[in-house]
Amino acid sequence: MRFCRECGAKLFYDRTLKEYVCKSCGLTYTFQDLVIGSDRILTEDKYKKDERKKIRKEYLEWWLSKK
């Protein structure tokens, strides 16, 4: 299921326009827009996970150095 990036409502596919349309706010997305958006979100999530791992590792090194 696809969701609108602006309001979070469900999108439905309009065959005449060949685009996804938000039921709530009316924004339209092409398939390409949705693919690019999902790639960006996945990249941001990976970056955040890497940052959290780095912070945990630094904290663990600090904690063990005090003992």
List pLDDT tens digits, range 31-40. Answer: 888 887 766 6
pLDDT digits (tens, 9 = 90+) for 20-58: 999 888 888 888 888 877 666 667 767 788 888 889 999
pTM: 0.52
Summarize the confidence of residues 52-66 as an average pLDDT.
88
Angle CA 43–10–29, to nearest 5: 60
- Distance between CA atoms of residues 53 and 20, nearest Å: 37
> How many residues does this entry show for the chain?
67
How crowded is the C-beta side of 7, counted as CA atoms within 13 Å? Answer: 11
Q: Which two tokens stand for residue 13?
A: 């596919």
Distance of CA 57 to the CA centre of its chain: 25
